[in-house]
Amino acid sequence: MLKFSFALLLFLSGSLFASTSWELRVHQANFDVEAHALTSAEYKAYLDQTSWRCWADQPTRSGNLDIRALRCNYSIEKLGAFKSYASCGPGKIFDEVAVELRDERKNLDLKVILACQYKTEANP
C-alpha cells in the first residue's frame, strides 16, 4: 500500500503545472485605474501627468519563490528612487506591494500596485 501511495504521489506531482502570474495596477491621479498583465519582460507603466516613473523588473527566482521588483524614481533627474519586492510560490500564493506616490510639483497623488498569484493546475 505504501509503494502504491508513493507511486501515485509521484504521478500526480509530475502532472501538475505551476505558474506565477503578475499584474501591475496604476491608480492614476484622475481616478482612472489601469491593470496590466505582465510577461517575464521588464515593463514600464505610463503614469499620466506626473513626474514619477515606475517599472517592474524581470522576475527572478530564489529557492521556490518567484520575485519581482517594483522600481520608481521621481523625475528624469532621479531625485528620489526606491525599490520594493513582491514574491510568490508554494506556500505563498498571493503577494502585492502597493506604493502611494505624491507629485509635489504637480500636486498629484497616485498609487502603483505590483501583485502576483501562484497557481498549480493539471498539465494540459
**7 domain-assigned:** no
**3 domain-assigned:** no
**101 domain-assigned:** yes
**13 domain-assigned:** no
Q: Write down the pLDDT at residue 76.
A: 67
**100 domain-assigned:** yes
**Residues in the chain with pLDDT values less than 70:** 1-15, 76-78, 123-124
Q: Write down the pLDDT at residue 2.
A: 42
**90 domain-assigned:** yes
Write the pLDDT tens digit of every residue in 11-22: 445 567 889 999
Backbone angles phi, psi at 4, to 5 degrees: -65, -45
**25 domain-assigned:** yes
**6 domain-assigned:** no
Q: Write down the pLDDT at residue 25.
A: 94
- 88 touches 117 (CB < 8 A): yes
The amino acid occupying position 99 is V
Counting the structural domains of the chain, the total is: 1
Other Cβ atoms closer than 10 A to 112? 23
Domain span including residue 41: 18-122
Q: Write down the pLDDT at residue 58.
A: 95
- Of 50, 87, 53, 55, nearest to 70 by C-alpha is 55
